[in-house]
Amino acid sequence: MDRIDPALEDIELELFVRALRQRHGYDFGHYAPASLRRRVRQLVQTHGTGTISALTGRLLHEPEFVFTVIEGLSVPVSDMFRDPPVFRALREQVLPLLASWPRINIWQAGCASGQEVYSLAILLEEEGLYERCQIYATDFNPAALRRAQEGIYPARAAQAWSRNYLEAGGRHSLADYYSARYEFIKLDQRLRRNVSFANHNLVTDKVFCEAQLVLCRNVLIYFANPLQDRVLGLFRDSLVRGGFLCLGLRESLEFAPSGADFTALDANLRIYRRNVFTAPDGKA
C-alpha cells in the first residue's frame, strides 16, 4: 500500500491546475478542492500515470489530451427530470408566468449530455410555449455537448426517467418522445429545433443573452464560494428583472453576496427570481 504524502500531492495538484490554466485556458483554481482532488486522482488511475505530475506532463505535451482531462473533470452526470418536484414546479408555477413574455429565452448552463435540455423541451411543448422559446444549452465539455446534440442514452435509464416524467406531471408517456433501438434510446430530434448548443465556460466567459429563465442545476455545487458568487452574478446580469433562476436541490445562495439579488419563489425547490430593483452591476 503506497503511503500518500499530502504535502507533495498538493504541490502536484497546484502545478496541474496551473498547467491547465496557462496552457489551455481552463481555470479550475476556484473549484471545490475535495471533489477536484478526487477527480484528478481518478484521472491518474484511469490513465495509469502513477502521479499527478505525469498527468501534467501529458497535458503539456499532448495537444488532444486536454479534452480527455476536461471530460474527466467535468462530471457530466445527469438524468431526465431529476428531482421531479422541481420539474413539476417549473411546469405549474414558472411556465405560466413565463407565458407573459412574447419571446422567451432560456439559458441552461452546465447542460451535460442534454438530459435536462430534452426534459425542459418536453415541458415547454406540453404547456404550449415551445414555439415562443429559444433555449441556449451550454457546457464547457465538448464531448458532453456532442452527446447532448445526439440525444442518445442507454435504454436502461428509460424506466427511471419515465417514472420521473410522470411524477413531474407528464401528460403522455415519455416513450412518445423517444425511439428505442437495441440498448439505446434516441430522443425525438424535433425537441431541439429551438435549441442552440454552445460551448461556454462559466469561469471565463461572459453574458451572451438576455434570459427569462436560467436553469443551472448541480454545477455550482462544484464551485468554491467566490466562484459561486461570480457565476450567480453572471446569471443575474443575464436575467431580465423578475426572471427566474433554478438551481440544484442542495445548492443555495447563502454563501454568495450576489444571492441578495434574488428572491425565493420556492426556497425548498431552489427556484428564485431576480429582484426587480437591482442594477445590473448588483448595487441596489
Q: Which residues bind ligand SAM (CB under 6 A)?
A: 74-79, 82, 110, 112, 116, 139-141, 144, 201-203, 217-219, 222, 248
CA distance 107 to 98: 13
Cα gap 267→281, rounded to integer Å? 24
> Which string of b and e fits 86-124 if b means at least 16 CB within 10 Å?
bbbbbbeebbeebeebeebbbbbbbbbbbbbbbbbbbbb
User: Nearer Cβ to ligand SAM, position 41 or 132?
Assistant: 41
Q: Which one, 181 or 250, has the nearer CB to another protein?
A: 250
- Using the rule CB under 8 A, which residue among 12, 127, 251, 261 binds another protein? 251
Query: Among the residues of 75-184, which ranges form H helices?
Result: 84-89, 95-98, 115-126, 142-150, 158-167
Q: For the sheet with 239-247, list strands across it.
A: 195-199, 133-139, 104-109, 211-216, 239-247, 271-274, 262-266
Binding to another protein, residues 64-103 (CB under 8 A): 75, 77
Residues within window 253-272 making contact with another protein, judged by CB under 8 A: 255
Nearer to ligand SAM, 8 or 77 (CB): 77
Q: Which is nearer to ligand SAM, 27 or 126 (CB)?
A: 27
Segment lying near another protein (by CB under 8 A), choices 128-136, 185-193, 236-244, 247-255: 247-255
197 CA to centre of own chain: 12
Q: Which does 187 bind (CB under 5 to 8 A by kind): ligand SAM, another protein, none?
A: none
Given another protein, ligand SAM, none, residue 162, with its beta carbon under 5 to 8 Å by kind, binds: none
Establish if 225 lies at the interface with another protein (CB under 8 A): yes
Return d(Cα 87, Cα 85) in angstroms, integer. 5
Give the residue, chosen from 18, 23, 39, 58, that forms a contact with another protein under the rule CB under 8 A.
Answer: 39
SS3 25: coil
Nearer to ligand SAM, 128 or 237 (CB): 237
With binding defined as CB under 8 A, does residue 3 bind another protein? yes
Closest CA to 269 of 83, 98, 80: 83
Shortest distance in whole angstroms from residue 151 CB to ligand SAM: 15
Tell me the C-alpha to C-alpha distance, in Å, between residue 57 and each of 23, 49, 61, 203.
Answer: 12, 10, 6, 24
Binding site for another protein (CB under 8 A): 1-4, 6, 32-35, 37-39, 75, 77, 218, 221-222, 225, 248, 250-252, 255
